[in-house]
Chains A and B, each alone.
Chain A
Amino acid sequence: MRHPVELKGRPAADGIFAGPVFFLSTADAVRQPSGDPAIERRDFDAAVAAAIAGLGALVAGAEGEGADMLAFQIALLEDDALLAPARDLIGQGKPADIAWRKTVDAEIVGYEMSDDDYFRARAADLKDMRDRVLRQLSGTGGLGSQAGAILIGDDVPPSLFLEADWSKGGAIALRQGSPSSHVAILARARGVPMVVGLGDIIRDGHSEAAIDGAAGLLILSPDLPQKQLWSAKADALSARRDREAPFLDRPARLENGTPVELLINVAEPEELAVLDPGHCDGIGLMRSEFLFRDGRPLPDEEMQYRAYRRLLDWAGDKPVTIRTLDIGGDKPVKGLTPEGERNPFLGLRGVRLTLARKDVFTAQLRALARAAMFGNLKIMVPMITLAAELDETAALLDQVMADLARDGVAAKRPPLGIMVEVPAVAVAPEFLAKAAFFSIGSNDLTQYVMAAGRDEASVAALGDPSHPAVLRLIAHVANFGRERGIPVSLCGDMASEPRHLAALIAAGLRTLSVSPASIARVKAALAEIKTN
């Protein structure tokens, strides 16, 4: 019986869970070498076959670029030109994991040395492929026993999250990681409790743990009173969920019956697979960054067009607001975002970057205009500060429409709206009255108004979106929109938190875009809000 170990990290996804722990191997997971080249060779071949089988299963559930990259890994693992050097080293007496790592790492260097961004980005695929085989070799390749357990590791790639079985609950506790990572976004969408930045989590015989996502707390080997506490918390949570569940498929209404348009924020198209479009009024924020992952090749127009069409297919005739590429700041993409900026959040990000990279922006606008034929698509431009930026974007969209018409390609010009997240716009929205709609990005607006970085734990208390200064700006934008007939919504995290909803309604907002996991909770909370 181990003594309880309590660790404090950063909250990444809310929720309570207690159960067995499942330690993910790191890339340096140890394999006990057998000392027998024949056994090493047999295990190596089995590990490669298992990695290929695992990838094959993933390909079946993946689409577009994701599927292409998985197919690339399979092709590599089926190539004797890659396997032969590893087998030769094993024949010379090297343990299988060391032989494999040495072989693939030599190959990776060739990619990393390339002067071509596309080839250099492939290094990440080779590393992923290498680690898949290494996980098999260290006996931790399968996630089969993971269902209903707390996954513990350094960091988790999105592919592993999507591979995992969350039907029996479960949670994620990471030594490193970030609340703004892709995995954290997925965890919030799926309602999987997650804590990051826990530092050293020593395995040390622990087989059970309890996690509180909102509190950023992980307890290894909880004692009886702690278990009872967790079970009480879990009961309270499930009671709350039971109370909220009936609201899921009802329209969002205030206490007096006033309708609220409730949209959802989506980061990964995969999230839509588990969501019913009937539970919301559309997509208020589709982040397009999923197409532009760091380390992946830039998506071409065709790939983007197909991805956007799938979103519209899901939504039917409901609106789908797609935000143009919003990288920079804390979201670097190699080959696109500037390196060495002293203060990236105040640097070349969002529309500032896409206007500097017209090739990338044009391809995205073309794909959006073509996809707009198939549903109610709106384009939202992030980080707008000046009217000139919106004008330049609109001119680019006009050019795109003219080019498409000239080439006889079917397309439609979507409404062009903006994110209101730079204080200059929130203070003086009249300069951007040409926008088709405003969507308040309360996360960035708060960090810029309060001068408190989103990911700085030391100033986290300052980054309060309910500070009167932030709320006053939100009300100002909402009033301006109402006077001028410009639709205004809010798509920041605060809309998903019941404690902020009364303030947002009082500020005059009647359209909110929330995380998919919070739909029922937000509807339940709205139904209690009284207005006059």
Chain B
Amino acid sequence: MTDWTSSSVVIRHKVGLHARPSVKLTQLAKSFASTVQIAGTPEGPWIDAKSIVKVMAMKVKQDSTLYLRARGGDAAAAVTALAGLVERDFDEDKAHAASG
């Protein structure tokens, strides 16, 4: 069994991981072949980051830490990409920055 590639990132979104961010997160996770999982604590439980039903059910709130891990050929890229999406606050501030 190969090892997991892991990372963690703080959710800044003001209502947490709700519908719109969850759609983006799962869509991005699905673009990788690796198994991608997320959890609310380093010990898990780990859930499938490609399932919107399960991601939403975590009810992750603002300022909580999201733990990411992936296993597979593109695991490193998957973890980097997902952490980046969360760090960029799901790209929701882009329009704000551009107009401001």
Q: Which residues from chain A sit less than 8 Å from chain B, CB to CB?
A: 68-69, 71-72, 75-76, 79-82, 107, 110, 114, 116, 118-119, 122, 125, 297, 300-302, 305-306, 370, 407-410
**Assembly CA distance A247 to B63 (angstroms):** 58
Q: Would you call A297 and B15 a contact (CB within 8 A)?
A: yes
Given known pairs A81-B48, A110-B57, the reply for A69 and B19 (CB within 8 Å) is yes
Chain B 1-30 interface mask (CB, 8 Å, partner A; 1/0): 000000000000011101110110011000
Q: Would you call A118 and B16 a contact (CB within 8 A)?
A: yes
Q: A116: which B residues are within 8 A, CB to CB?
A: 15-16, 59, 61
**Assembly CA distance A370 to B95 (angstroms):** 12
Q: Would you call B100 and A408 a contact (CB within 8 A)?
A: yes
In addition to A69-B19, A72-B20, A300-B92, 14 A-B residue pairs with Cβ atoms within 8 Å of each other are A68-B20, A72-B22, A72-B52, A75-B22, A75-B26, A75-B52, A79-B26, A80-B51, A81-B48, A82-B53, A110-B57, A116-B16, A118-B16, A408-B100
**Assembly CA distance A406 to B22 (angstroms):** 33
Contact of A107 among B15, B53, B100 (CB under 8 A): B53
Contact of A370 among B52, B59, B61, B99 (CB under 8 A): B99
Q: A305: which B residues are within 8 A, CB to CB?
A: 95-96, 99
Q: A370: which B residues are within 8 A, CB to CB?
A: 99-100
Q: Which B residue's beta carbon lies closest to that of A302? A: B96
Contact of B92 among A82, A114, A302 (CB under 8 A): A302
Q: Would you call B100 and A114 a contact (CB within 8 A)?
A: no
Given known pairs A79-B53, A122-B56, A410-B100, the reply for A72 and B93 (CB within 8 Å) is no
Say yes or no: is B88 at the interface (Cβ < 8 Å to chain A).
no
Q: Would you call A119 and B18 a contact (CB within 8 A)?
A: yes
Tell me the minimal C-beta distance from A472 to chain B in angstroms: 47
Q: Which residues from chain B sit less than 8 Å from chain A, CB to CB?
A: 14-16, 18-20, 22-23, 26-27, 48, 51-54, 56-57, 59, 61, 92-93, 95-96, 99-100
23 contacts across the A-B interface (CB closer than 8 A):
A68-B20, A68-B23, A72-B20, A72-B52, A75-B27, A79-B51, A80-B51, A81-B54, A116-B59, A118-B16, A119-B18, A122-B19, A122-B56, A125-B19, A300-B14, A302-B93, A302-B95, A305-B96, A305-B99, A370-B100, A407-B100, A409-B99, A410-B100
Tell me the minimal C-beta distance from B20 to chain A in angstroms: 5
Q: Would you call A410 and B99 a contact (CB within 8 A)?
A: yes
Q: B15: which A residues are within 8 A, CB to CB?
A: 116, 118, 297
Q: Which A residue's beta carbon lies closest to that of B94? A: A302
Tell me the minimal C-beta distance from B59 to chain A in angstroms: 6
**Assembly CA distance A72 to B95 (angstroms):** 21
Tell me the minimal C-beta distance from A120 to chain B in angstroms: 10
Given known pairs A81-B51, A297-B15, A409-B100, the reply for A75 and B23 (CB within 8 Å) is yes
Tell me the minimal C-beta distance from B25 to chain A in angstroms: 10
**Per DSSP, are chain A's interface residues mostly helix, strand or loop, or mixed?**
helix
Q: Which A residue's beta carbon lies closest to that of B51? A: A81
Q: Would you call B18 and A76 a contact (CB within 8 A)?
A: no
Q: A82: which B residues are within 8 A, CB to CB?
A: 53
**Assembly CA distance A37 to B93 (angstroms):** 48
Contact of A119 among B53, B56, B99 (CB under 8 A): B56
Q: B19: which A residues are within 8 A, CB to CB?
A: 68-69, 72, 122, 125, 297
**Assembly CA distance A467 to B15 (angstroms):** 48
Q: B26: which A residues are within 8 A, CB to CB?
A: 75, 79
Given known pairs A72-B23, A302-B92, A409-B100, the reply for A81 and B18 (CB within 8 Å) is no
Q: Would you call B95 and A76 a contact (CB within 8 A)?
A: no
Q: B51: which A residues are within 8 A, CB to CB?
A: 79-81
Q: A107: which B residues are within 8 A, CB to CB?
A: 53
Q: Would you call B23 and A71 a contact (CB within 8 A)?
A: yes
Tell me the minimal C-beta distance from B89 to chain A in angstroms: 11
Q: Which A residue's beta carbon lies closest to that of B48? A: A81
Q: Which A residue's beta carbon lies closest to that of B23? A: A75
**Assembly CA distance A409 to B93 (angstroms):** 13
Q: Would you call A79 and B95 a contact (CB within 8 A)?
A: no
Q: Which A residue's beta carbon lies closest to that of B50? A: A79
**Assembly CA distance A407 to B22 (angstroms):** 29
Q: A114: which B residues are within 8 A, CB to CB?
A: 59
Tell me the minimal C-beta distance from A394 to chain B in angstroms: 24
**Assembly CA distance A321 to B96 (angstroms):** 23
Q: A407: which B residues are within 8 A, CB to CB?
A: 100
Q: Which of B18, B19, B51, B52 has the most CB of A within 10 A?
A: B19
Contact of B95 among A68, A75, A122, A306 (CB under 8 A): A306
**Assembly CA distance A79 to B23 (angstroms):** 11
Q: Which B residue's beta carbon lies closest to that of A408? A: B100
Q: A81: which B residues are within 8 A, CB to CB?
A: 48, 51-54
Q: A72: which B residues are within 8 A, CB to CB?
A: 19-20, 22-23, 52
**Assembly CA distance A301 to B95 (angstroms):** 11
Q: Which of A72, A114, A306, A370 has the most CB of B within 10 A?
A: A72
Q: Would you call B27 and A119 a contact (CB within 8 A)?
A: no
**Assembly CA distance A301 to B51 (angstroms):** 28
Q: B59: which A residues are within 8 A, CB to CB?
A: 114, 116, 119
Q: B48: which A residues are within 8 A, CB to CB?
A: 81
**Assembly CA distance A496 to B64 (angstroms):** 52
